[in-house]
Amino acid sequence: MLQWAGLGSDAAQTMNPSTVGTSPSCMDDYDPASLLPEQATERIQSAVQPVSGFEKIHLRAALDRVLARDIHSRIDVPSHTNSAMDGYALHANTLPDDGTRDLEVVGTSWAGHVFPGPVAAGACVRIMTGAVMPEGTDTVVMQEHVEQTPGGIRIDARHKAGQNVRHAGEDIGAGDTVLRAGHRLIPADLGLLASVGTNEVKVTRRVRVAFFSTGDELRSIGDPLEPGMIYDSNRYTLYGMLTRLGVELIDLGVVADTREDTLRAFEQGAACADVLITSGGVSVGEADFVKEALEQLGQIDFWKVAMKPGRPLAFGKINDAYFFGLPGNPVSVMVTFYLFVQPALRTLQGERCTPPLLLDARCRSNLRKKPGRTEYQRGMLYRDADGQLAVDKTGPQGSGILTSMADANCFIVLPLEAETAEAGSLVQVLPFSEIV
């Protein structure tokens, strides 16, 4: 199971909600019902099942898609034993033990043009990188190590039997498993599959994700901004994060803060998608209808997660669709998406994931936090003048301050019970390159 939210901070700790936030210094935030981030991850991951269904697509269309079946090679790669160098192919018995030896050059083996051998002992063949080793040869002397003579070449005694030769099947043998089901294809895989002659692959079908923003205060870009209104940015960050995952998007726009509109949007989203994601309206204020709508239409798990940003989070199901109700604050949307929604979408797509790599870095800022919650502050990771990994926070860390995300290249993961991270101390960072 994928386990990464809060990893490296408190992952090893027994996950007992009653242990969360018991410090007297944070009684204002203490909520015994809060889940640890890793508990929320575990609950989500144990609830989601990979979608069934796959499609057969051309190799070039398969980048970033998830393999639905193992892929085996029908051929050896390389398919023939060949030269790793431009030089001269000969039999190892021809190599002198000491001194030098003159050899006749009886022909040339080009990449793609096989020399019709055999090559007798005492003779050699000019050979190019990638060309088939002619019959009777097993060793290549690189061209820089020979001396030209009127009748051929002169070699000395520095060479080893079998050198500079690439053997048939040394990369992949016929029948080997090249890639496994559940693997998301990267550019190297496209080359790998091409090298075994595979031009079509079976990949899992795209997961369909519908999403909408809630809030009477939200305006679309292009519209005038009346007093008290803000532009809807969450749908754009969601669009970006979802696009990176290769899912099919259904943008349901902005939904007003009314019971009727929220219910209608829920029904619409759940009917057309595998996953419905909302932002905002998930607290328990008077204009927050997400929880109520979910209770009315589906099964709800509503959580406070002991983390910042991103405390309120709803997860549940409406008929067959999974539901994620993310908080409204722009940074909270991104943090909760990366920690909870993204791993779930990967699982739904049939991907086998490895947890992201956390790094230790020297903190260059004084970081304040409250104990009783894991904090995901935004940072810039770099190498300092001594070549050591260092991290600075990216300005004010309020959950509405999206520039803290835009300027960042990592999360600084501050563990549950920590109160501060002083400048100079070691902290754990989660580079965005590991998750986005």
Interface contacts to ligand AMP, rule CB under 6 A: 213, 215, 217-218, 230, 232-234, 279-283, 327-330, 400
Q: 114: closest CA among 80, 75, 153?
A: 80
Give the H/E segment covering residue 333: helix 330-336
Q: How far is the CB of 269 from Mg ion (least distance, A)?
A: 17
Q: How far apart are CA 199 and CA 60, in angstroms?
A: 8
- Which of 8, 280 has the CB closer to ligand AMP? 280
* Contacted entry of ligand AMP, Mg ion, none for residue 241, CB cut-off 5 to 8 Å set by kind: none
- Which of 176, 217 has the CB closer to ligand AMP? 217
Q: Work out the burial of residue 109: count CB atoms within 10 Å of its CB; fewer than 13 is exposed, 13-18 middle, 19 or more buried.
A: buried
325-354 positions binding Mg ion, by CB under 5 A:
328
Q: How far is the CB of 355 from ligand AMP (least distance, A)?
A: 29
CB 179 within 8 A of CB 193: yes
Q: How far is the CB of 196 from ligand AMP (least distance, A)?
A: 46
- Which of 281, 316 has the CB closer to Mg ion? 281
Q: Which range touches Mg ion (CB under 5 A), out of 7-15, 65-73, 184-192, 215-223?
A: 215-223
Q: 219: closest CA among 241, 207, 208, 234?
A: 234
Q: Work out the burial of residue 332: count CB atoms within 10 Å of its CB; fewer than 13 is exposed, 13-18 middle, 19 or more buried.
A: buried
Q: How far apart are CA 307 and CA 339, in angstroms?
A: 11
Q: How far is the CB of 375 from ligand AMP (least distance, A)?
A: 18
Q: Which of 215, 309, 310, 350 binds Mg ion (CB under 5 A)?
A: 215
In order of 390, 405, 408, the CA distances from 430 in angstroms are: 13, 13, 11
Q: Does 182 bind Mg ion (CB under 5 A)?
A: no
301-330 positions binding Mg ion, by CB under 5 A:
328
- CB atoms closer than 10 angstroms to residue 229: 14
* Contacted entry of ligand AMP, Mg ion, none for residue 283, CB cut-off 5 to 8 Å set by kind: ligand AMP
Q: How far is the CB of 311 from Mg ion (least distance, A)?
A: 15
Q: How far apart are CA 393 and CA 365, in angstroms?
A: 6
Q: How far is the CB of 58 from ligand AMP (least distance, A)?
A: 37
Q: Which of 87, 182, 269, 280 binds Mg ion (CB under 5 A)?
A: 280
What residues line the site for Mg ion (CB under 5 A)? 215, 280-281, 328
